[in-house]
Amino acid sequence: MWVFMSLVSISPRFRITIPKEIREETNLKVGDKISFLKKGDEIVIFKVPDKPLIKMAGSMKAKKDIRKILKELKQEEIGVEKFRGS
């Protein structure tokens, strides 16, 4: 489910500021990594786990495409149902 949190502008140098309420709610800190997902005109930003390889442990199965596994992990991490089955 998408929840509108706030509106920000892109600076002339294509930078954005993550609003305080989002930083606090997601526990973002200086140095944390974030990633972008794009589908059509939609962009989703999500926090990369501190230890992504540990989070992936046990998810690798024989003959399963790594791209599919990573896509599933990204979808699970951000909890966006909209990406399922599209």
pLDDT tens for 16-75 read 999 998 899 888 999 999 999 888 888 888 888 776 666 566 665 555 677 777 787 777
d(CA 63, CA 3): 36
The structure's pTM equals: 0.52
Q: Give me the helices (H) in 9-65, please.
A: 20-26, 52-56
The number of distinct structural domains making up the chain is 1
In a domain, 6, yes or no: no
- Would you say residue 14 has pLDDT above 90? yes
Closest residue by Cα to residue 80 from 42, 28, 24, 52: 42
Q: Write phi, then psi, for 74 (nearest 5 degrees).
A: -65, -45
d(CA 77, CA 51): 13
In a domain, 67, yes or no: yes
In a domain, 42, yes or no: yes
Q: What is the pLDDT of residue 13?
A: 97
- Would you say residue 1 has pLDDT above 70? no
pLDDT tier, 3 (very low <50, low <70, confident <90, very high otherwise): confident
Q: Give the range of the structural domain holding residue 36, as residue numbers without chain letter.
A: 20-83
In a domain, 79, yes or no: yes
